[in-house]
């Protein structure tokens, strides 16, 4: 059953999230911004979650299932298991995952720590960078030996990971990423390819990420959406907006009403999809929720 929810990244503190939930009755996606203390606070106060973005609580790193390093793979499984424990306690059902990176190491989940990591790679992959400030990579990066190697590793690993999560009673929603250094799964065709690996592979379609990738990699945004939806595996949406345009790329996580993605045209296309609709913005989400409810023509399923 479809539900509307809000990512915890919208709130400045768990207390603010709790007040919002108690007043509005809208469940959360527990996000990567939450510390162990934050998660404990939300669960003690019975703030319902319908999904969880791995890692939550944060352990400082995203898991990486495109690695060739067995130690990193094991650490990634540890992060996954801890996130599943959190999800089981808070009553949710969907795990959202950035599946892996074109790098053997774990990437820091906090941007302040991730930024110097990425900046070190800019010199190594400078021929593929089209925007140094944002570490934005062009289409040629997807054809590089490094990207191809880690994509192959992801293909080998992700089916088993998805089946493991399914055996634990959860769905794993694999999220498409935008065009940045080390980020895999930038193209709709890649998601179609992943869907063929296992019947247990499902997707989180992030519209902000896809919009940026369409500008960088030169595919039609709406056709890209249709291609991903055609897999029949989309069970989760991340909705945000951004001011990106050709030559300027910013995954800002703005209100869905403020940016270059026209959600008034988009919502009728996805209205009937049986999926969670998660507002993943970094501001007060109430106006977005009202817009979503009107555009989707549905109330929140509690």
pLDDT tens digits in sequence order for the chain, 302 residues long: 689 999 999 999 999 999 999 999 999 999 999 999 999 999 999 999 999 999 999 989 999 999 999 999 999 999 999 999 999 998 878 999 999 999 999 999 988 898 888 888 999 999 999 999 999 999 999 999 999 999 999 999 999 999 999 999 999 999 999 999 999 999 999 999 999 999 999 999 999 999 999 999 999 999 999 999 999 999 999 999 999 999 999 999 999 999 999 999 999 999 999 999 999 999 999 999 999 999 987 655 44
DSSP letters, 163-205, are HHHHHTT-EEEEEP--SBTTB---SHHHHHHHHTT-TT-EEEE
- Residue 253 lies inside a defined structural domain of this protein: yes
- Residue 175 lies inside a defined structural domain of this protein: yes
pLDDT of residue 302: 46
pLDDT of residue 119: 87
Quick check: pTM over 0.75? yes
- Residue 301 lies inside a defined structural domain of this protein: no
- Residue 129 lies inside a defined structural domain of this protein: yes
In which domain, by residue range, is 212 found? Answer: 4-296
Please answer whether residues 137 and 180 qualify as being in contact, where contact means their C-beta atoms are separated by less than 8 angstroms. yes
pLDDT of residue 299: 56
- Residue 263 lies inside a defined structural domain of this protein: yes
- Residue 67 lies inside a defined structural domain of this protein: yes
Please answer whether residues 173 and 184 qualify as being in contact, where contact means their C-beta atoms are separated by less than 8 angstroms. no
Using CA atoms, how far apart are residues 82 and 298, in angstroms rounded to an integer?
33
- Residue 302 lies inside a defined structural domain of this protein: no
Quote the number of domains for the chain: 1
Helices and strands of the chain, counted as H and E runs: 10, 12
- Residue 52 lies inside a defined structural domain of this protein: yes
CA angle 241, 243, 248 (to 5 degrees): 135
Tell me the CATH number at 279.
3.20.20.150
């Amino acid at each position: 059953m479809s539900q509307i929810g809000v990512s915890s990244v919208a709130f400045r503190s768990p207390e603010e999230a709790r007040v919002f939930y108690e007043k509005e009755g809208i469940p959360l996606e527990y996000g990567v911004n939450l510390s162990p203390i934050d998660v404990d606070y939300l669960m003690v106060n019975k703030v319902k979650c319908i999904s969880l973005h791995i890692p939550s609580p944060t352990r400082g790193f995203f898991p990486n299932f495109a690695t060739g390093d067995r130690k990193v793979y094991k650490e990634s499984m540890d992060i996954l298991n801890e996130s599943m424990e959190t999800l089981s306690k808070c009553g949710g059902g969907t795990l959202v995952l950035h599946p892996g990176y074109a790098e053997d190491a774990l990437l820091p989940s906090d941007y302040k720590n991730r930024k110097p990591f990425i900046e070190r790679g800019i010199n190594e992959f400078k021929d593929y960078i089209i925007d140094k400030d944002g570490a934005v990579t062009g289409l040629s990066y997807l054809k590089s030996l490094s990207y191809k190697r880690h994509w192959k590793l992801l293909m080998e690993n992700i089916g088993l990971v998805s089946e493991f999560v399914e055996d634990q009673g959860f769905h794993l929603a694999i999220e498409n990423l935008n065009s940045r250094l080390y980020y895999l799964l930038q193209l709709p065709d890649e998601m179609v390819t992943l869907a063929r690996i296992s019947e247990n592979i499902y997707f989180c379609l992030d519209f902000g990420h896809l919009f940026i990738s369409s500008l960088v990699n030169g595919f039609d945004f709406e056709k890209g959406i249709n291609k991903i939806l055609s897999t029949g595996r989309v069970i989760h949406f991340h909705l945000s907006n951004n001011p990106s345009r050709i030559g300027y790329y910013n995954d800002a996580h703005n209100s869905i009403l403020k940016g270059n993605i026209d959600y008034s045209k988009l919502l009728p296309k996805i209205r009937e999809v049986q999926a969670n609709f998660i507002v993943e913005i970094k501001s007060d989400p109430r106006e977005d929720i009202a817009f979503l409810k009107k555009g989707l023509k549905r109330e929140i399923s509690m």
